[in-house]
Amino acid sequence: MDKLLEIKNLHTSFFTHVGEVKAVRGINIDVYEGEAIGIVGESGCGKSVTSLSVMGLVPSPGKVIEGQIHFKGEDLLKKSEKEMQKIRGNKIAMIFQDPMTSLNPVYTIGDQLIEPLRIHKNMDKEAARQKAIELLREVRIPDPERRLKQYPHEFSGGMRQRVMIAMALSCQPELVIADEPTTALDVTIQAQILELMKELKEKFNTSIMLITHDLGIVADLCSRIVVMYAGVIVEEGAVRDIFYNPKHPYTWGLLKSIPKVNMTSKERLVPIDGQPPDLLKPPAGCPFVPRCRYAMRICQQQHPALYSVSENHRAACWLLDSQAPPVEWDREGVSLK
């Protein structure tokens, strides 16, 4: 498989009046053709900023300050705004978190759906309308001819997210970035939307970058997972690796905070105590230290490199160093061997 997107050493900062907030601090992510990759982490860990950096839409006062973003071999960071406009919505499309606010309330669904088709594919109005009807059918919106003339407020949340998906897929992009696409939806609708995304991915062979804080939803759709914390990647690997052989204490924490189906009502979820560090003054060592039960002296002083666990599985944790005491993870808990 070929690399479709290659993010190399990306640094994105926000230059606020209190100082530079380093939201993304040197991350490397590869996305292969036809692959779905999940980027997981809690709020404020830099997931969304990464996706906006790829789109070239980091809002002011944010700025990509270092790194490369290669898309099909070309560096997106070197492209002009005009060139980026030809890529956005056409080669790389985005689905956003809140479908209730992501559609313009004063234009019809049809009007908003045909827009990318008109500008990227030079379709005339009628052809674009026909295509829009087809797209709505594709995302299973009943009665598309009538729905096309309606406004966003006449759609439910799940239906709006279907519209957003249809809009993202309209120009058959090679990469779809889905930023928390199901977070604002209730659970049954979440499952439907994920199912739909999975199906469309197979059908159009689109690569997907799924950004979420919920490990549960990536398992089904993605083949690889990247775990981010405080603007850096702490662990990456195949879904199996992350779920069955996680190596980073933060990933352990994330896994333990997922409710299990067979939980009894007495059992409690285990949260990760504490707060992520202030990225205005990122720590010199591992950013997870204050919340980590296994922190050692070295963790405070030096940021760990990514240790290879297996071929595609890497984690940035000193516990993986040969000099560290062995720590073993199992579903029930973590124990020192």
Contact residues for another protein, defined by CB under 8 A: 55, 57, 59, 81, 84-90, 93-94, 96, 98, 101-108, 115-116, 119-120, 151, 153, 164, 167
- How near is the Cβ of 68 to another protein at its closest, in Å? 21
Specify the residue, 59 or 271, whose C-beta has the smaller distance to another protein: 59
Shortest Å distance, C-beta 57 to another protein: 6
Contact yes or no for 179/6 (Cβ under 8 A): no
Helix (H, G, I), strand (E, B) or coil at 151: coil
Q: How far is the CB of 72 from another protein (least distance, A)?
A: 16
User: DSSP for 219-264?
Assistant: HHH-SEEEEEETTEEEEEEEHHHHHHS--SHHHHHHHHTS--TT--
Nearer to another protein, 72 or 291 (CB): 72
Which is closer to another protein, CB of 147 or CB of 247? 147
Q: What single string gives the DSSP state of each residue in 51-108? A: HHHHHT-PPTTEEEEEEEEEETTEEGGGS-HHHHHHHBTTTEEEE-S-TTTSS-TTS-
Smallest separation, CB 184 to another protein (Å): 11
The minimum distance between CB 80 and another protein, in angstroms, equals 12
Nearer to another protein, 61 or 216 (CB): 61
Comparing CB distances to another protein, the nearer of 116 and 304 is: 116
What's the half-sphere exposure (Cβ side, CA atoms, 13 Å) at 4?
21
Least separation in angstroms between CB 39 and another protein: 17
Angle at 215 between CA 213 and CA 220, to 5 degrees: 125
Q: What minimum distance in Å lies between the beta carbon of 159 and another protein? A: 16
66 or 115, CB closer to another protein? 115
CA distance 221 to 37: 8
- Closer Cβ to another protein, 20 or 115, answer by number: 115
User: Edge-to-edge strands of the sheet including 314-315?
Assistant: 92-95, 175-179, 207-212, 36-40, 224-229, 232-238, 314-315, 307-308
Residues 231 and 67 sit within 8 Å (Cβ to Cβ) = no
Beta bridge partners of 14: 21, 62
